[in-house]
Structure 1
Protein backbone atom coordinates (compact mmCIF):
# COMPACT_ATOMS: atom_id res chain seq x y z
CA UNK A 1 0.00 0.00 0.00
CA UNK A 2 1.32 3.44 -0.95
CA UNK A 3 0.23 4.87 2.42
CA UNK A 4 2.98 2.78 4.03
CA UNK A 5 5.67 4.23 1.79
CA UNK A 6 8.12 6.64 3.38
CA UNK A 7 9.01 9.96 1.77
CA UNK A 8 12.02 12.18 2.40
CA UNK A 9 11.00 15.78 1.66
CA UNK A 10 14.09 17.77 0.69
CA UNK A 11 13.42 21.40 1.54
CA UNK A 12 16.29 23.63 0.45
CA UNK A 13 16.40 27.11 1.94
CA UNK A 14 18.25 30.39 1.67
CA UNK A 15 16.83 33.57 3.21
CA UNK A 16 13.32 32.23 2.84
CA UNK A 17 11.70 33.51 6.03
CA UNK A 18 9.03 35.49 4.18
CA UNK A 19 7.13 32.45 2.86
CA UNK A 20 8.62 29.35 4.47
CA UNK A 21 5.91 28.93 7.11
CA UNK A 22 3.27 28.52 4.40
CA UNK A 23 5.34 25.86 2.67
CA UNK A 24 6.08 23.98 5.89
CA UNK A 25 2.39 24.02 6.79
CA UNK A 26 1.41 22.69 3.36
CA UNK A 27 3.83 19.78 3.70
CA UNK A 28 2.65 19.01 7.22
CA UNK A 29 -0.96 19.00 5.96
CA UNK A 30 -0.41 16.35 3.28
CA UNK A 31 -2.92 13.52 3.09
CA UNK A 32 0.09 11.19 2.91
CA UNK A 33 1.64 11.50 6.35
CA UNK A 34 4.63 9.12 6.24
CA UNK A 35 7.21 11.82 5.56
CA UNK A 36 10.33 13.36 7.08
CA UNK A 37 11.42 16.89 6.14
CA UNK A 38 15.14 17.37 5.60
CA UNK A 39 15.67 21.14 5.59
CA UNK A 40 19.03 22.03 4.08
CA UNK A 41 19.90 25.67 4.69
CA UNK A 42 22.61 27.17 2.52
CA UNK A 43 23.74 30.00 4.79
CA UNK A 44 20.65 32.13 5.46
CA UNK A 45 21.20 35.45 7.19
CA UNK A 46 17.52 36.12 7.97
CA UNK A 47 15.29 34.19 10.38
CA UNK A 48 14.90 31.09 8.18
CA UNK A 49 16.94 28.81 10.46
CA UNK A 50 15.12 30.07 13.58
CA UNK A 51 11.76 29.23 11.93
CA UNK A 52 13.00 25.75 11.01
CA UNK A 53 14.19 25.21 14.56
CA UNK A 54 10.79 26.30 15.87
CA UNK A 55 9.01 23.74 13.67
CA UNK A 56 11.53 21.09 14.70
CA UNK A 57 10.74 21.72 18.36
CA UNK A 58 7.00 21.54 17.66
CA UNK A 59 7.00 18.42 15.46
CA UNK A 60 10.09 16.58 16.68
CA UNK A 61 13.54 15.79 15.35
CA UNK A 62 12.22 12.57 13.84
CA UNK A 63 9.93 14.58 11.52
CA UNK A 64 12.10 17.64 10.76
CA UNK A 65 15.85 17.23 10.35
CA UNK A 66 18.12 20.25 9.86
CA UNK A 67 21.09 20.06 7.49
CA UNK A 68 23.86 22.44 6.50
CA UNK A 69 23.92 23.16 2.77
CA UNK A 70 27.20 22.73 0.87
CA UNK A 71 27.43 26.36 -0.27
CA UNK A 72 27.70 25.50 -3.96
CA UNK A 73 24.42 26.94 -5.21
CA UNK A 74 20.80 25.81 -5.20
CA UNK A 75 21.26 22.78 -7.50
CA UNK A 76 23.97 21.25 -5.34
CA UNK A 77 21.99 22.02 -2.19
CA UNK A 78 19.25 19.71 -3.50
CA UNK A 79 21.59 16.93 -4.63
CA UNK A 80 23.57 17.16 -1.40
CA UNK A 81 20.35 16.83 0.63
CA UNK A 82 19.32 13.90 -1.56
CA UNK A 83 22.49 12.11 -0.52
CA UNK A 84 22.60 13.18 3.13
CA UNK A 85 19.03 12.15 3.94
CA UNK A 86 20.02 8.51 3.50
CA UNK A 87 18.81 5.50 1.57
CA UNK A 88 16.10 4.19 3.90
CA UNK A 89 13.22 6.03 2.21
CA UNK A 90 11.02 4.75 -0.58
CA UNK A 91 10.64 8.14 -2.27
CA UNK A 92 12.34 11.55 -2.32
CA UNK A 93 10.47 14.82 -2.96
CA UNK A 94 12.10 18.17 -3.75
CA UNK A 95 10.60 21.26 -2.18
CA UNK A 96 11.29 24.96 -2.72
CA UNK A 97 10.99 27.28 0.26
CA UNK A 98 8.38 29.68 -1.15
CA UNK A 99 5.77 27.43 -2.78
CA UNK A 100 2.70 25.77 -1.30
CA UNK A 101 1.81 22.13 -1.90
CA UNK A 102 -1.75 21.03 -2.50
CA UNK A 103 -2.74 18.53 0.15
CA UNK A 104 -2.77 15.53 -2.22
CA UNK A 105 0.60 16.27 -3.88
CA UNK A 106 2.50 13.37 -2.33
CA UNK A 107 -0.42 10.97 -2.62
CA UNK A 108 -0.85 11.61 -6.35
CA UNK A 109 2.89 11.30 -6.97
CA UNK A 110 3.13 7.99 -5.13
CA UNK A 111 0.11 6.60 -6.97
CA UNK A 112 2.01 7.08 -10.24
CA UNK A 113 5.39 5.95 -8.97
CA UNK A 114 4.05 2.78 -7.38
CA UNK A 115 3.43 1.49 -10.92
CA UNK A 116 7.21 1.26 -11.46
CA UNK A 117 9.12 -1.29 -9.41
CA UNK A 118 12.46 -2.02 -11.08
CA UNK A 119 13.31 1.14 -13.01
CA UNK A 120 14.36 4.63 -12.03
CA UNK A 121 11.28 6.84 -12.03
CA UNK A 122 10.46 10.50 -11.52
CA UNK A 123 7.11 12.22 -11.03
CA UNK A 124 6.86 15.87 -12.09
CA UNK A 125 4.31 18.20 -13.61
CA UNK A 126 2.58 21.47 -14.16
CA UNK A 127 2.31 24.21 -11.56
CA UNK A 128 -0.38 26.66 -10.55
CA UNK A 129 1.22 30.10 -10.66
CA UNK A 130 0.52 32.63 -7.92
CA UNK A 131 1.63 36.15 -7.16
CA UNK A 132 3.44 37.20 -3.98
CA UNK A 133 0.17 37.27 -2.02
CA UNK A 134 -0.87 33.81 -3.20
CA UNK A 135 -3.49 34.89 -5.75
CA UNK A 136 -3.67 32.66 -8.83
CA UNK A 137 -2.27 34.25 -11.99
CA UNK A 138 -2.22 31.26 -14.34
CA UNK A 139 -0.59 27.89 -14.96
CA UNK A 140 2.73 26.83 -16.35
CA UNK A 141 2.69 25.67 -20.01
CA UNK A 142 1.06 22.30 -20.71
CA UNK A 143 3.35 19.79 -22.40
CA UNK A 144 1.69 16.79 -24.02
CA UNK A 145 4.51 15.03 -25.87
CA UNK A 146 5.96 11.93 -24.24
CA UNK A 147 8.92 12.64 -21.92
CA UNK A 148 12.08 11.06 -23.33
CA UNK A 149 15.85 11.40 -23.65
CA UNK A 150 15.36 12.89 -27.14
CA UNK A 151 13.37 15.69 -25.55
CA UNK A 152 15.46 15.99 -22.39
CA UNK A 153 18.67 16.77 -24.28
CA UNK A 154 17.15 20.00 -25.59
CA UNK A 155 14.46 20.94 -23.05
CA UNK A 156 13.54 20.81 -19.38
CA UNK A 157 9.82 20.17 -18.98
CA UNK A 158 9.11 20.56 -15.27
CA UNK A 159 10.43 22.37 -12.23
CA UNK A 160 12.42 20.56 -9.60
CA UNK A 161 9.87 21.82 -7.08
CA UNK A 162 7.38 19.33 -8.58
CA UNK A 163 9.71 16.32 -8.63
CA UNK A 164 9.42 13.11 -6.62
CA UNK A 165 12.00 10.35 -7.23
CA UNK A 166 11.94 6.68 -6.42
CA UNK A 167 14.95 5.17 -4.66
CA UNK A 168 16.51 3.78 -7.83
CA UNK A 169 16.46 7.25 -9.39
CA UNK A 170 17.85 8.77 -6.20
CA UNK A 171 20.77 6.35 -6.17
CA UNK A 172 21.68 7.35 -9.73
CA UNK A 173 21.40 11.10 -9.19
CA UNK A 174 23.67 11.17 -6.13
CA UNK A 175 26.48 9.81 -8.32
CA UNK A 176 26.66 13.21 -10.05
CA UNK A 177 30.34 14.28 -9.91
CA UNK A 178 30.92 16.79 -7.13
CA UNK A 179 31.03 19.86 -7.48
CA UNK A 180 30.66 20.27 -11.21
CA UNK A 181 28.52 23.11 -12.49
CA UNK A 182 24.87 22.11 -12.89
CA UNK A 183 22.79 24.43 -15.05
CA UNK A 184 19.57 23.29 -13.36
CA UNK A 185 19.00 20.25 -11.16
CA UNK A 186 15.55 19.58 -12.65
CA UNK A 187 16.85 19.56 -16.22
CA UNK A 188 19.83 17.44 -15.19
CA UNK A 189 17.60 14.87 -13.50
CA UNK A 190 15.31 14.73 -16.55
CA UNK A 191 18.32 14.10 -18.83
CA UNK A 192 19.97 11.57 -16.52
CA UNK A 193 16.93 9.46 -15.63
CA UNK A 194 15.55 9.23 -19.17
CA UNK A 195 19.07 8.52 -20.45
CA UNK A 196 19.36 5.59 -18.05
CA UNK A 197 16.10 4.11 -19.30
CA UNK A 198 13.96 5.52 -16.51
CA UNK A 199 10.33 6.56 -16.53
CA UNK A 200 9.19 10.17 -16.18
CA UNK A 201 5.55 10.85 -15.27
CA UNK A 202 4.45 14.35 -16.28
CA UNK A 203 1.24 15.32 -14.49
CA UNK A 204 -0.86 17.84 -16.47
CA UNK A 205 -2.78 18.70 -13.29
CA UNK A 206 -0.89 21.09 -10.97
CA UNK A 207 -0.15 19.88 -7.45
CA UNK A 208 1.79 22.91 -6.21
CA UNK A 209 1.24 26.64 -6.04
CA UNK A 210 4.40 28.15 -7.52
CA UNK A 211 4.87 31.63 -6.11
CA UNK A 212 6.24 34.24 -8.54
CA UNK A 213 8.24 37.03 -6.92
CA UNK A 214 11.37 39.09 -7.38
CA UNK A 215 13.54 36.77 -5.31
CA UNK A 216 12.79 33.70 -7.44
CA UNK A 217 15.99 32.24 -8.86
CA UNK A 218 14.12 30.74 -11.80
CA UNK A 219 10.63 31.87 -12.69
CA UNK A 220 7.95 30.53 -14.97
CA UNK A 221 7.89 31.08 -18.72
CA UNK A 222 4.21 31.97 -18.59
CA UNK A 223 4.38 35.34 -20.33
CA UNK A 224 5.20 35.87 -23.99
CA UNK A 225 8.06 38.13 -22.90
CA UNK A 226 9.59 35.36 -20.80
CA UNK A 227 9.29 32.86 -23.64
CA UNK A 228 10.90 35.29 -26.08
CA UNK A 229 13.74 35.81 -23.60
CA UNK A 230 14.32 32.06 -23.48
CA UNK A 231 14.41 31.83 -27.28
CA UNK A 232 16.87 34.76 -27.34
CA UNK A 233 19.10 32.85 -24.94
CA UNK A 234 18.86 29.82 -27.20
CA UNK A 235 20.05 31.89 -30.17
CA UNK A 236 22.67 33.93 -28.29
CA UNK A 237 24.89 31.02 -27.27
CA UNK A 238 23.57 30.43 -23.75
CA UNK A 239 21.90 27.21 -24.86
CA UNK A 240 25.12 25.98 -26.43
CA UNK A 241 27.04 26.53 -23.18
CA UNK A 242 24.28 24.81 -21.22
CA UNK A 243 24.53 21.79 -23.51
CA UNK A 244 28.32 21.73 -23.05
CA UNK A 245 27.83 21.50 -19.28
CA UNK A 246 25.09 18.85 -19.48
CA UNK A 247 27.17 16.68 -21.82
CA UNK A 248 30.18 17.01 -19.55
CA UNK A 249 28.10 15.80 -16.60
CA UNK A 250 26.81 12.84 -18.65
CA UNK A 251 30.25 11.42 -19.50
CA UNK A 252 30.67 9.40 -16.26
CA UNK A 253 27.22 7.86 -16.81
CA UNK A 254 27.66 6.60 -20.37
CA UNK A 255 27.89 2.98 -19.21
CA UNK A 256 24.49 3.36 -17.53
CA UNK A 257 22.72 4.72 -20.61
CA UNK A 258 20.56 2.45 -22.75
CA UNK A 259 22.06 1.36 -26.08
CA UNK A 260 19.55 3.48 -27.98
CA UNK A 261 20.34 6.54 -25.89
CA UNK A 262 24.08 6.01 -26.36
CA UNK A 263 23.49 6.31 -30.12
CA UNK A 264 21.34 9.42 -29.66
CA UNK A 265 23.95 11.00 -27.41
CA UNK A 266 26.78 10.15 -29.80
CA UNK A 267 24.98 11.76 -32.74
CA UNK A 268 24.12 14.85 -30.70
CA UNK A 269 27.56 15.26 -29.15
CA UNK A 270 29.58 14.64 -32.31
CA UNK A 271 27.49 16.48 -34.86
CA UNK A 272 26.34 19.54 -32.96
CA UNK A 273 29.82 21.02 -33.53
CA UNK A 274 30.26 19.73 -37.08
CA UNK A 275 29.50 21.31 -40.45
CA UNK A 276 26.01 22.28 -41.56
CA UNK A 277 25.41 19.02 -43.45
CA UNK A 278 26.31 16.92 -40.40
CA UNK A 279 24.14 19.08 -38.17
CA UNK A 280 21.19 18.63 -40.53
CA UNK A 281 21.74 14.86 -40.59
CA UNK A 282 21.67 14.93 -36.77
CA UNK A 283 18.06 16.15 -36.91
CA UNK A 284 17.05 12.90 -38.60
CA UNK A 285 19.41 10.62 -36.69
CA UNK A 286 18.81 11.82 -33.14
CA UNK A 287 15.19 12.94 -33.75
CA UNK A 288 15.42 15.53 -31.01
CA UNK A 289 12.26 17.45 -30.21
CA UNK A 290 10.84 20.15 -27.99
CA UNK A 291 7.32 20.15 -26.60
CA UNK A 292 5.74 22.86 -28.76
CA UNK A 293 5.60 23.69 -32.48
CA UNK A 294 7.32 27.05 -31.96
CA UNK A 295 9.93 25.39 -29.77
CA UNK A 296 10.72 22.88 -32.52
CA UNK A 297 11.05 25.65 -35.11
CA UNK A 298 13.46 27.47 -32.78
CA UNK A 299 15.40 24.23 -32.28
CA UNK A 300 15.81 23.69 -36.04
CA UNK A 301 16.93 27.30 -36.51
CA UNK A 302 19.42 26.93 -33.64
CA UNK A 303 20.82 23.74 -35.18
CA UNK A 304 21.10 25.45 -38.57
CA UNK A 305 23.01 28.42 -37.13
CA UNK A 306 25.21 26.26 -34.89
CA UNK A 307 23.70 27.55 -31.63
CA UNK A 308 23.08 24.18 -30.05
Structure 2
Protein backbone atom coordinates (compact mmCIF):
# COMPACT_ATOMS: atom_id res chain seq x y z
CA UNK A 1 0.00 0.00 0.00
CA UNK A 2 1.08 3.56 -0.70
CA UNK A 3 -0.32 6.21 1.59
CA UNK A 4 -0.45 9.99 1.70
CA UNK A 5 -2.79 11.96 3.96
CA UNK A 6 -5.25 9.07 3.96
CA UNK A 7 -6.83 9.42 7.38
CA UNK A 8 -10.40 9.77 6.08
CA UNK A 9 -10.75 6.26 4.64
CA UNK A 10 -7.64 4.33 5.70
CA UNK A 11 -9.28 2.36 8.52
CA UNK A 12 -11.97 1.00 6.18
CA UNK A 13 -9.32 -0.35 3.83
CA UNK A 14 -7.20 -1.83 6.59
CA UNK A 15 -10.26 -3.54 8.07
CA UNK A 16 -11.12 -5.05 4.68
CA UNK A 17 -7.60 -6.44 4.39
CA UNK A 18 -7.93 -7.96 7.84
CA UNK A 19 -11.15 -9.71 6.73
CA UNK A 20 -9.52 -11.51 3.78
CA UNK A 21 -10.46 -15.18 3.57
CA UNK A 22 -6.91 -15.85 2.41
CA UNK A 23 -5.02 -15.47 5.67
CA UNK A 24 -1.36 -15.82 4.64
CA UNK A 25 -0.63 -12.16 3.92
CA UNK A 26 1.46 -9.28 5.22
CA UNK A 27 1.15 -5.58 4.49
CA UNK A 28 3.94 -3.10 3.76
CA UNK A 29 2.89 0.54 3.62
CA UNK A 30 5.06 3.18 1.96
CA UNK A 31 3.99 6.53 3.38
CA UNK A 32 4.92 9.53 1.26
CA UNK A 33 5.20 12.06 4.09
CA UNK A 34 1.62 12.26 5.37
CA UNK A 35 0.88 15.33 7.49
CA UNK A 36 -2.41 14.11 8.94
CA UNK A 37 -3.08 11.18 11.29
CA UNK A 38 -2.22 8.49 8.70
CA UNK A 39 1.00 7.51 10.50
CA UNK A 40 -0.78 7.25 13.86
CA UNK A 41 -3.49 5.03 12.33
CA UNK A 42 -0.88 2.76 10.76
CA UNK A 43 1.05 2.48 14.01
CA UNK A 44 -2.15 1.61 15.85
CA UNK A 45 -2.89 -1.24 13.43
CA UNK A 46 0.74 -2.39 13.52
CA UNK A 47 0.58 -2.72 17.29
CA UNK A 48 -2.71 -4.61 17.09
CA UNK A 49 -1.77 -6.89 14.19
CA UNK A 50 1.89 -7.32 15.04
CA UNK A 51 4.97 -6.03 13.20
CA UNK A 52 5.16 -9.22 11.15
CA UNK A 53 1.77 -8.32 9.66
CA UNK A 54 2.20 -4.59 9.04
CA UNK A 55 5.39 -2.68 8.32
CA UNK A 56 5.60 1.04 7.51
CA UNK A 57 8.44 2.48 5.41
CA UNK A 58 9.20 5.96 4.09
CA UNK A 59 8.24 6.72 0.49
CA UNK A 60 10.45 8.65 -1.95
CA UNK A 61 8.27 11.76 -1.92
CA UNK A 62 8.04 11.97 -5.73
CA UNK A 63 4.41 11.12 -6.39
CA UNK A 64 2.28 7.98 -6.48
CA UNK A 65 4.04 6.25 -9.42
CA UNK A 66 7.49 6.57 -7.83
CA UNK A 67 6.04 5.45 -4.51
CA UNK A 68 4.50 2.26 -5.90
CA UNK A 69 7.55 1.39 -8.00
CA UNK A 70 10.01 2.00 -5.17
CA UNK A 71 7.89 -0.13 -2.83
CA UNK A 72 7.60 -2.94 -5.39
CA UNK A 73 11.37 -2.93 -5.93
CA UNK A 74 12.30 -3.20 -2.24
CA UNK A 75 14.61 -6.22 -1.84
CA UNK A 76 13.44 -6.88 1.73
CA UNK A 77 9.93 -7.79 0.53
CA UNK A 78 9.85 -11.49 -0.30
CA UNK A 79 6.66 -13.31 -1.35
CA UNK A 80 5.12 -15.58 -3.96
CA UNK A 81 2.47 -13.03 -4.93
CA UNK A 82 2.15 -9.25 -4.64
CA UNK A 83 -0.95 -7.04 -4.50
CA UNK A 84 -1.03 -3.29 -4.98
CA UNK A 85 -3.38 -1.51 -2.63
CA UNK A 86 -4.78 2.03 -2.46
CA UNK A 87 -5.48 3.65 0.89
CA UNK A 88 -9.11 4.57 0.31
CA UNK A 89 -10.78 1.49 -1.21
CA UNK A 90 -12.50 -1.51 0.36
CA UNK A 91 -11.62 -5.05 -0.65
CA UNK A 92 -14.15 -7.86 -0.93
CA UNK A 93 -13.35 -10.65 1.52
CA UNK A 94 -12.38 -13.01 -1.31
CA UNK A 95 -10.19 -10.62 -3.32
CA UNK A 96 -6.83 -12.22 -2.52
CA UNK A 97 -8.20 -15.76 -2.57
CA UNK A 98 -9.70 -15.36 -6.06
CA UNK A 99 -6.55 -13.74 -7.42
CA UNK A 100 -4.28 -16.39 -5.95
CA UNK A 101 -6.50 -19.19 -7.24
CA UNK A 102 -5.97 -17.98 -10.82
CA UNK A 103 -2.28 -17.14 -10.38
CA UNK A 104 -1.57 -20.66 -9.16
CA UNK A 105 -2.69 -22.03 -12.53
CA UNK A 106 0.20 -20.23 -14.27
CA UNK A 107 3.71 -21.76 -14.21
CA UNK A 108 6.00 -19.84 -11.85
CA UNK A 109 8.45 -18.77 -14.57
CA UNK A 110 5.75 -17.05 -16.64
CA UNK A 111 4.91 -13.45 -15.65
CA UNK A 112 1.27 -13.38 -14.58
CA UNK A 113 -1.04 -10.50 -13.71
CA UNK A 114 -4.54 -10.63 -12.23
CA UNK A 115 -6.70 -7.49 -12.49
CA UNK A 116 -10.34 -6.65 -12.84
CA UNK A 117 -13.44 -4.55 -12.77
CA UNK A 118 -14.50 -2.50 -9.73
CA UNK A 119 -17.67 -1.47 -7.91
CA UNK A 120 -17.71 2.33 -7.70
CA UNK A 121 -18.79 3.91 -4.42
CA UNK A 122 -19.11 7.46 -3.11
CA UNK A 123 -17.25 8.96 -0.16
CA UNK A 124 -20.03 7.71 2.11
CA UNK A 125 -19.97 4.22 0.57
CA UNK A 126 -23.10 4.56 -1.58
CA UNK A 127 -22.92 2.42 -4.72
CA UNK A 128 -22.48 4.41 -7.93
CA UNK A 129 -22.21 1.66 -10.52
CA UNK A 130 -19.27 -0.18 -12.01
CA UNK A 131 -16.11 0.56 -13.92
CA UNK A 132 -16.34 -0.24 -17.66
CA UNK A 133 -16.59 -3.91 -18.63
CA UNK A 134 -13.82 -4.67 -21.10
CA UNK A 135 -14.78 -7.64 -23.31
CA UNK A 136 -11.71 -8.01 -25.54
CA UNK A 137 -8.74 -10.13 -24.45
CA UNK A 138 -5.72 -8.47 -22.81
CA UNK A 139 -2.87 -8.13 -25.29
CA UNK A 140 0.24 -6.05 -25.93
CA UNK A 141 -1.49 -4.34 -28.89
CA UNK A 142 -4.13 -3.16 -26.43
CA UNK A 143 -1.62 -2.34 -23.68
CA UNK A 144 0.27 0.08 -25.95
CA UNK A 145 -2.76 2.38 -26.13
CA UNK A 146 -4.81 1.56 -23.02
CA UNK A 147 -4.56 0.55 -19.39
CA UNK A 148 -7.46 -1.81 -18.74
CA UNK A 149 -7.45 -1.95 -14.93
CA UNK A 150 -6.43 0.05 -11.92
CA UNK A 151 -3.42 -0.91 -9.89
CA UNK A 152 -5.75 -1.23 -6.91
CA UNK A 153 -7.17 -4.42 -8.50
CA UNK A 154 -3.82 -5.95 -9.43
CA UNK A 155 -2.15 -9.05 -7.98
CA UNK A 156 0.91 -10.53 -9.68
CA UNK A 157 3.49 -13.27 -9.30
CA UNK A 158 7.25 -13.14 -8.71
CA UNK A 159 8.06 -13.42 -12.42
CA UNK A 160 6.02 -10.27 -13.11
CA UNK A 161 7.58 -8.48 -10.16
CA UNK A 162 11.05 -9.36 -11.46
CA UNK A 163 10.23 -7.48 -14.67
CA UNK A 164 9.40 -4.36 -12.65
CA UNK A 165 12.55 -4.71 -10.55
CA UNK A 166 14.72 -5.15 -13.64
CA UNK A 167 13.18 -2.08 -15.29
CA UNK A 168 14.00 -0.16 -12.13
CA UNK A 169 12.31 2.06 -9.60
CA UNK A 170 13.33 5.24 -11.46
CA UNK A 171 11.79 4.36 -14.82
CA UNK A 172 9.74 7.27 -16.16
CA UNK A 173 6.23 6.05 -16.98
CA UNK A 174 2.77 7.66 -16.66
CA UNK A 175 1.42 5.04 -14.25
CA UNK A 176 2.57 1.90 -12.51
CA UNK A 177 -0.51 -0.14 -13.48
CA UNK A 178 -0.29 0.68 -17.20
CA UNK A 179 3.43 -0.12 -17.01
CA UNK A 180 2.98 -3.64 -15.59
CA UNK A 181 0.23 -4.39 -18.14
CA UNK A 182 2.64 -3.47 -20.92
CA UNK A 183 5.56 -5.37 -19.40
CA UNK A 184 3.67 -8.60 -18.76
CA UNK A 185 1.94 -8.72 -22.15
CA UNK A 186 5.13 -7.64 -23.91
CA UNK A 187 7.11 -10.44 -22.27
CA UNK A 188 4.58 -13.06 -23.31
CA UNK A 189 3.06 -13.35 -19.87
CA UNK A 190 -0.50 -14.12 -18.81
CA UNK A 191 -3.11 -11.49 -17.88
CA UNK A 192 -6.53 -12.28 -16.44
CA UNK A 193 -9.17 -9.53 -16.38
CA UNK A 194 -11.86 -10.49 -13.87
CA UNK A 195 -15.32 -9.36 -15.01
CA UNK A 196 -16.63 -9.78 -11.45
CA UNK A 197 -15.72 -6.80 -9.22
CA UNK A 198 -13.74 -7.82 -6.12
CA UNK A 199 -13.44 -4.42 -4.49
CA UNK A 200 -15.16 -1.10 -3.83
CA UNK A 201 -13.38 1.77 -5.60
CA UNK A 202 -14.08 4.99 -3.72
CA UNK A 203 -14.68 8.10 -5.83
CA UNK A 204 -13.87 11.44 -4.21
CA UNK A 205 -12.23 14.78 -4.90
CA UNK A 206 -8.83 13.67 -3.61
CA UNK A 207 -8.58 10.71 -5.99
CA UNK A 208 -5.38 10.96 -8.02
CA UNK A 209 -6.94 8.77 -10.68
CA UNK A 210 -10.68 8.14 -10.64
CA UNK A 211 -12.98 5.98 -12.69
CA UNK A 212 -12.97 6.58 -16.44
CA UNK A 213 -16.57 5.54 -17.06
CA UNK A 214 -18.39 8.90 -16.87
CA UNK A 215 -18.98 11.36 -19.71
CA UNK A 216 -17.06 13.96 -17.73
CA UNK A 217 -14.06 11.61 -17.64
CA UNK A 218 -14.38 11.01 -21.38
CA UNK A 219 -14.36 14.75 -22.03
CA UNK A 220 -11.27 15.11 -19.85
CA UNK A 221 -9.50 12.41 -21.88
CA UNK A 222 -10.56 14.11 -25.12
CA UNK A 223 -9.09 17.37 -23.87
CA UNK A 224 -5.88 15.55 -22.95
CA UNK A 225 -5.62 14.21 -26.50
CA UNK A 226 -5.79 17.74 -27.92
CA UNK A 227 -3.25 18.96 -25.35
CA UNK A 228 -0.79 16.23 -26.37
CA UNK A 229 -0.78 14.39 -23.04
CA UNK A 230 -1.52 11.04 -24.69
CA UNK A 231 1.37 11.62 -27.10
CA UNK A 232 3.68 12.48 -24.19
CA UNK A 233 2.66 9.38 -22.23
CA UNK A 234 3.29 7.17 -25.25
CA UNK A 235 6.75 8.71 -25.62
CA UNK A 236 7.54 7.74 -22.04
CA UNK A 237 6.17 4.21 -22.42
CA UNK A 238 8.03 3.56 -25.67
CA UNK A 239 11.31 4.74 -24.16
CA UNK A 240 10.80 2.54 -21.10
CA UNK A 241 9.80 -0.48 -23.19
CA UNK A 242 12.81 -0.09 -25.49
CA UNK A 243 15.06 -0.26 -22.43
CA UNK A 244 13.40 -3.60 -21.65
CA UNK A 245 13.30 -4.83 -25.26
CA UNK A 246 15.53 -7.81 -24.39
CA UNK A 247 12.66 -9.13 -22.26
CA UNK A 248 9.99 -8.66 -24.92
CA UNK A 249 8.88 -11.47 -27.23
CA UNK A 250 10.01 -11.14 -30.83
CA UNK A 251 6.43 -10.53 -31.97
CA UNK A 252 5.95 -7.75 -29.43
CA UNK A 253 9.30 -6.13 -30.23
CA UNK A 254 8.08 -5.90 -33.83
CA UNK A 255 4.74 -4.47 -32.69
CA UNK A 256 6.53 -1.86 -30.60
CA UNK A 257 8.79 -0.94 -33.53
CA UNK A 258 5.79 -0.53 -35.84
CA UNK A 259 3.98 1.60 -33.28
CA UNK A 260 6.98 3.85 -32.70
CA UNK A 261 7.73 4.26 -36.41
CA UNK A 262 4.12 4.94 -37.44
CA UNK A 263 3.60 7.74 -34.91
CA UNK A 264 5.93 10.06 -36.88
CA UNK A 265 4.58 9.28 -40.36
CA UNK A 266 2.15 11.08 -42.64
CA UNK A 267 -1.53 10.29 -42.15
CA UNK A 268 -1.86 7.36 -44.57
CA UNK A 269 1.40 5.74 -43.41
CA UNK A 270 0.39 6.38 -39.81
CA UNK A 271 -2.95 4.63 -40.25
CA UNK A 272 -1.38 1.69 -42.09
CA UNK A 273 1.36 1.40 -39.47
CA UNK A 274 -1.09 1.33 -36.59
CA UNK A 275 -3.17 -1.28 -38.40
CA UNK A 276 -0.09 -3.45 -38.89
CA UNK A 277 0.60 -3.13 -35.15
CA UNK A 278 -2.95 -4.36 -34.45
CA UNK A 279 -3.68 -1.55 -31.99
CA UNK A 280 -7.08 -1.58 -30.29
CA UNK A 281 -8.92 -0.26 -27.28
CA UNK A 282 -11.62 -2.14 -25.43
CA UNK A 283 -14.75 -0.11 -26.24
CA UNK A 284 -16.36 1.63 -29.20
CA UNK A 285 -15.82 5.06 -27.64
CA UNK A 286 -12.24 4.17 -26.83
CA UNK A 287 -11.55 3.14 -30.40
CA UNK A 288 -13.17 6.31 -31.72
CA UNK A 289 -10.83 8.27 -29.47
CA UNK A 290 -7.92 6.23 -30.79
CA UNK A 291 -8.94 7.05 -34.37
CA UNK A 292 -9.18 10.74 -33.50
CA UNK A 293 -5.75 10.72 -31.87
CA UNK A 294 -4.36 8.99 -34.97
CA UNK A 295 -5.89 11.54 -37.35
CA UNK A 296 -4.59 14.46 -35.26
CA UNK A 297 -1.14 12.90 -34.84
CA UNK A 298 -1.65 13.04 -31.07
CA UNK A 299 -0.79 9.41 -30.40
Structure 1 residues 98, 85: CA separation in 2 closer, same or farther (over 3 Å shift)? farther
Question: Aligned residue for 2:57?
Answer: 67
Q: Does 1:26 align with 2:24?
A: no
Report the RMSD for the aligned CA atoms in angstroms. 1.2
Q: Does 1:233 align with 2:224?
A: yes
Contact 2:258 2:274 in 1 (8 A): no
In the TM superposition, residue 85 of structure 1 has moved relative to its aligned partner by 5.9
Question: Aligned residue for 2:40?
Answer: 50
Whole-Å separation in 2 of the counterparts to 1:234 and 1:291: 17
3-state secondary structure, aligned to 1:300: helix
- Which of 139, 153, 164 lines up with 1:148 in the alignment? 139
Whole-Å separation in 1 of the counterparts to 2:268 and 2:293: 14
3-state secondary structure, aligned to 1:95: coil
For this pair of structures, how many residues does the alignment match? Answer: 298
3-state secondary structure, aligned to 1:210: strand
Contact 1:30 1:104 in 2 (8 A): yes
Whole-Å separation in 2 of the counterparts to 1:87 and 1:18: 27
Moved more, 288-297 or 21-30: 288-297
Question: Aligned residue for 1:294?
Answer: 285
Question: Aligned residue for 2:203?
Answer: 212
In the TM superposition, residue 87 of structure 1 has moved relative to its aligned partner by 5.4
Moved more, 13-22 or 270-279: 270-279
Question: Aligned residue for 1:7?
Answer: none
Whole-Å separation in 1 of the counterparts to 2:142 and 2:210: 21
User: Deviation digits for residues 118-170 of structure 1, max 9, x if unmatched?
Assistant: 31001000010000001111100000100000000000100000000101001
In the TM superposition, residue 226 of structure 1 has moved relative to its aligned partner by 1.1
In the TM superposition, residue 303 of structure 1 has moved relative to its aligned partner by 1.1
Q: Does 1:94 align with 2:84?
A: yes
Question: Aligned residue for 1:6?
Answer: none
Pairing of 1:1-308 with structure 2 (within 5 A): 11-84=1-74, 86=76, 88-117=78-107, 118-308=109-299
Q: Hey, which bits of structure 1, 4+ residues long, moved more than 6 A?
A: none
Structure 1 residues 57, 104: CA separation in 2 closer, same or farther (over 3 Å shift)? same
Whole-Å separation in 1 of the counterparts to 2:168 and 2:49: 35
Contact 1:41 1:67 in 2 (8 A): yes
Structure 2 unmatched runs, 5+: none
In the TM superposition, residue 114 of structure 1 has moved relative to its aligned partner by 0.8
Whole-Å separation in 2 of the counterparts to 1:162 and 1:86: 23
TM-score, length-scaled by structure 2: 0.97
In the TM superposition, residue 109 of structure 1 has moved relative to its aligned partner by 0.4
